[in-house]
Amino acid sequence: MNRERFIRDRRADWGRFEQLLGTLQSLPERQWRAVQVAELARLYRSICYDLSLVQSREWGSRLEDYLNDLVASGHNCLYRTPPTSLAAALEFIAIGFPRLLRQRWRAFALSTALFLVPFLVGTAVGVMRPDLAVLVAGEEELQQATDSYSRELYTATDERYTGERSFMFGFYVNNNTGIAFQAFSLGALAGIGTCYVLLSNGISIGLVQGAMLSKGGATAVNFTSFVITHGSLELTAIVISGAAGFVLAQSLLLPGERTRMESLRHHGRESLQLALGAGVMLFGAALLEGYFSPLPIAPAIKYVAGGLAWLLVGLWLGLAGRDRVVVADSAGGAES
């Protein structure tokens, strides 16, 4: 069988699958009919086979991406309930969000590279040329940061600590979500805006970090012990927001077999879900940065907490939702 005949023979099933998906996704789960779910499950398995066939015969990335999107959408529809309640929203954050991020690993890998490479280069340059950090942070702001980290921020969790940290919590939420929203929303500009946000923030954050590390001694220790814990959520969320922007850009630049409106509807929904998940991570990062990171405790405790935070974030995003699920159809049970 050649590619053209394959597409001709299978197009009707793909169209029917998309039609069923649209019908079921527009209804509450309690209104789903058993015959619809059974047909969707049957078509889902056949499309999984189609995808493996296209991949093995290398029949083109556009066709492969189209079928991969169908499989991902079918998987999300069959195996989880849309987040219409608090319990379902928590389930999405715990399981659906990391699963969706892994399905969009190409966008995540691109976003990671565009942020991490300039961040590491900026850190190295900042250590060797701390004066360059003035170009991105400003002389006054950089001097204030240096003065702050040259000593412990607080010596007790008193009234001053509570008042200042509550104010800073609000500042962190506003600042971090602003960066993440830009990385996500500017994906609508063919992804160019997302690239700019990731590159510019990677460079600026890296330069400032390098400038702090170049001071050595108590300044470097206070700085690293302050950022290590909340950085696990904050920096990862910024990268995920960039990935959401690239998914949005894909809907406009690479619609595949869909019309651009259908592509925007499909990819845009998943892009928004990634951005919302990143928003939850940024809220958690703001809590840590506002109330835990400046605590007057030994730096060693913060390093241990930071290491655990990075480990838990990695395990959550890498492993959550990898369970095997059984779906029954009219012909009997079948395991995905």
User: Is residue 89 in some structural domain?
Assistant: no
Residue 85 in any domain: the answer is: no
Q: How many domains does the chain have?
A: 2
Inter-residue contact 3 to 59 (CB < 8 Å): yes
Interval 215-240: pLDDT, tens: 999 999 999 999 999 999 999 999 99
Please say if the pLDDT value at position 24 is more than 90. Answer: no
Q: How far apart are the first and last CA of the chain?
A: 26
Q: Which domain holds residue 65?
A: 3-79
Task: Report which of residues 65 and 105 the model is more confident about.
Answer: 105
Count other C-beta atoms under 10 Å from residue 73's C-beta. Answer: 21
Specify whether 173 is located in the same domain as 69.
no
Is 88 part of a structural domain of the chain? Answer: no
Residues 276 and 228 in one domain: yes
The percent of residues above 70 in pLDDT, for the chain, comes to 94
- Cα–Cα distance for residue pair 96/273, rounded to 1 Å: 9
Same domain, 260 and 169: yes
Mean pLDDT, the chain, rounded, equals: 86
- Do 208 and 285 fall within a single domain? yes
Q: Is 96 part of a structural domain of the chain? A: no
251 and 194 inside one domain: yes
Tell me which of 40-49, 71-80, 92-101 is least confident: 71-80
187: in domain: yes
Same domain, 58 and 113: no
Q: Are residues 74 and 115 in the same domain?
A: no
Q: Is 104 exposed, middle or buried (0-12, 13-18, 19+ CB in 10 A)?
A: buried
Tell me the pLDDT band of 242, cut-offs 50, 70 and 90: very high
> Is 86 part of a structural domain of the chain?
no
Contact 122, 204 (CB under 8 A): yes
Domain co-membership, 314 together with 210: yes
What count of Cα atoms within 13 Å lies in the side-chain half-sphere of residue 272? 6
Condensed to tens digits (0 to 9), the pLDDT of residues 137-190 reads 888 888 888 888 888 877 777 778 778 888 788 888 888 888 888 888 888 888
Residues 15 and 118 in one domain: no
Please spell the DSSP secondary structure of 232-294, one letter per residue.
HHHHHHHHHHHHHHHHHHHHHH--TTS-HHHHHHHHHHHHHHHHHHHHHHHHHHHHIIIIITT
**234 in the same domain as 124:** yes
Q: b/e map of 279-310 (b: 16 or more CB within 10 Å)?
A: bbbbbbbbbbbbbbbbbeeebeebeebbeebb
Q: What is the pTM for the complete model shown? A: 0.71
Shared-domain flag, residues 187 and 219: yes
pLDDT score at 304: 97
- Position 85 scores a pLDDT of 66
The answer to whether residues 54 and 113 belong to one domain is no
* Per-residue pLDDT tens digits for 76-134: 887 754 545 677 888 889 999 999 999 999 999 999 999 999 999 999 999 999 988 88
pLDDT of residue 80: 58
Residue 127, in any domain of the structure: yes
Q: Note whether residue 92 is domain-resident.
A: no
